Structure 1
Amino acid sequence: MEELRGFVTAIDHVGIAVPDLDAAIAFHREHFGLEVAHEEVNEEQGVREAMLRAPGDDGTGAAVQLLAPLTPESTIAKFIGRSGPGLQQLAYRVSDVDAAADALRAKGLRMLYEQARRGTSDSRVNFVHPKDAGGVLVELVEPARH
């Protein structure tokens, strides 16, 4: 994406919608050796989530994000109802989510939120509408500055 040159710093994670977070964590741990790096409930997004990483990853590599719905009305519950469990998003790490979103809007892409929202671990996030990104929900993630 030429318009994000200078903003994208890495692939941050891939998000997988799951009906049962504990079962999904156990599956990825047992079969792929992934470790839980972070787990939280995000009421605003309507999910219970976990970030999994390869053993020894210092937090700079791409993660697998497991997302389980908190309620039947949540976006993830609707996704699972429509498409079944599976790959739900591709997330790019960006240096400035607001500037990246503005650059994409200037190119005619729709963002899901007018303003960035709180994401995992107090990151700031916004999403490119899947209809404008080849059917893929693209998340822009600006990590929290700790």
Structure 2
Amino acid sequence: MLTRIDHIGIACFDLDRTVEFYRTTYGFEVFHSEVNEEQGVREAMLKINETSDGGASYLQLLEPVREDSAVGKWLAKNGEGVHHIAFGTADVDTDSARIKDKGIRVLYDEPRPGSMGSRITFLHPKDCHGVLTELVTSAAASSVAQGTED
């Protein structure tokens, strides 16, 4: 079951300048940053709030590190702006299978590693009214589901 909006992904040309905009305009601070080589992006997660299920909601700012990355291609075509929406789930495997059974194309056969140790998959935007949609199981939820919580 989807439990919350995990994050909104925003594609940008200059991560540092975009982080500074969100810091000075709204007071949001960087909670986590990393380079995801597989996806070809440098990212910053800005925490917006905690959620009742123990997670949080974020803005994810994405700067491509390669022009041939999905975000790089998207930026070249569309310019800066909202790239995707991500919904949190306790079990990305079960929820992506359930959604796939409804005829929605799931872009990865198996969920992949995402930000902050999460597991993710994407749903095809043509099947989601033009919105690239991500499903996310946070690292904390993954460890509880697998019985590895400390």
Structure 2 counterpart of 1:44: 38
User: Unaligned 5+ residue runs, structure 2?
Assistant: 144-150
Say whether residues 1:133 and 2:128 are aligned partners. yes
The alignment's TM-score, normalised by the length of structure 1, stands at 0.91
Cα RMSD over matched residues?
Answer: 1.2
Structure 2 counterpart of 1:4: none
Structure 2 counterpart of 1:31: 25
Tell me by how many angstroms 1:58 deviates.
4.7
Structure 2 counterpart of 1:82: 77
Structure 1 counterpart of 2:6: 12
Q: Distance in 1 between matches of 2:64 and 2:73?
A: 9
Tell me by how many angstroms 1:129 deviates.
0.2
Identity %: 45
Q: Distance in 2 between matches of 1:129 and 1:45?
A: 16
Q: Distance in 2 between matches of 1:132 and 1:87?
A: 18
Q: Distance in 2 between matches of 1:83 and 1:131?
A: 16
Question: Deviations for 1:120-142, whole angstroms, at most 9, x for unmatched residues?
Answer: 01100001100000000010000
Q: Distance in 1 between matches of 2:34 and 2:104?
A: 30
Matches within 5 A, 1:94-105: 94-105=89-100
Structure 1 counterpart of 2:107: 112
